[in-house]
């Protein structure tokens, strides 16, 4: 297992044990896990983002901390937040990451995940000019998520 996976797992356990709120001292956590503090920053900025359902606050200095809060909202609010964060373009890998996180948080079903993943795959856009694919993918993803939200 990679160190970034271990850091993410450790933080996730902290969140689970404290009802979705964790306060982390970067240097202390790095010492516990045997990594450099910048690895903690990398994991937090890449895996604990608003799109993945987290709010991150930090305070620098000697008594500094990083506070991570798991966003708990109803399904419709979560989908609207995600749709709003997509923008005009989205790559296949980013779309898959968002869908995977939505599935893990039970915002969409596994069936919805498979269906939307198929519709957003690079293979589905093979006949579309390269420079248009990410724009079309974003539009399709937003529309599919809105349809799920409206019909649930």
Tens-of-pLDDT digits for all 152 residues of the chain? 788 889 999 999 999 899 888 999 888 999 999 999 889 989 998 888 876 778 888 887 766 789 998 876 678 888 888 898 899 999 999 999 899 989 988 899 999 999 999 999 999 999 999 999 999 999 999 999 999 989 87
E strands in 38-135? 54-59, 65-70
Q: Residue 10 has what pLDDT?
A: 92
Question: 54 and 80 share a domain?
Answer: no
For residue 29, the domain's CATH number is 3.30.56.130
Tokens 């001292």 belong to: 25
Q: Residue 113 has what pLDDT?
A: 97
Question: 52 and 89 share a domain?
Answer: no
Question: 140 and 80 share a domain?
Answer: yes
Number of domains in the chain: 2
E strands in 5-124? 21-24, 54-59, 65-70
Please answer whether residues 102 and 108 qualify as being in contact, where contact means their C-beta atoms are separated by less than 8 angstroms. yes
- CA–CA distance, 56 with 70 (Å, rounded to integer): 9
Question: 66 and 114 share a domain?
Answer: no
Q: Which of 21, 41, 70 is the last residue of a domain?
A: 70
Q: Residue 62 has what pLDDT?
A: 66
Question: 85 and 66 share a domain?
Answer: no
Q: Residue 63 has what pLDDT?
A: 61
Question: 81 and 144 share a domain?
Answer: yes
11: helix, coil or strand? helix
Bridge partner residues of 116 (DSSP): none
Residue 22 belongs to what domain range? 3-70
């Amino acid at each position: 297992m990679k160190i970034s996976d271990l850091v993410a797992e450790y933080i996730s356990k902290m969140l689970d044990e404290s009802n979705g709120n964790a306060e982390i001292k970067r240097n202390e956590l790095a010492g516990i896990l045997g990594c450099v503090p910048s690895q903690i920053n990398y994991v937090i900025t890449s895996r604990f983002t608003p799109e993945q359902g987290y709010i991150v606050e930090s305070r620098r200095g000697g008594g500094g901390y990083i506070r991570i809060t798991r966003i708990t909202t109803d399904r419709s609010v979560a989908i609207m937040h995600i749709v709003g964060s997509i923008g005009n373009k989205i790559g296949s890998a980013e779309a898959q990451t968002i869908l995977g996180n939505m599935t893990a948080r039970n915002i969409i079903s596994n069936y919805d995940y498979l269906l939307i993943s198929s519709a957003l795959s690079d293979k589905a856009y093979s006949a579309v000019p390269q420079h248009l694919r990410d724009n079309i993918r974003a539009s399709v993803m937003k529309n599919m998520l809105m349809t799920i939200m409206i019909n649930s």
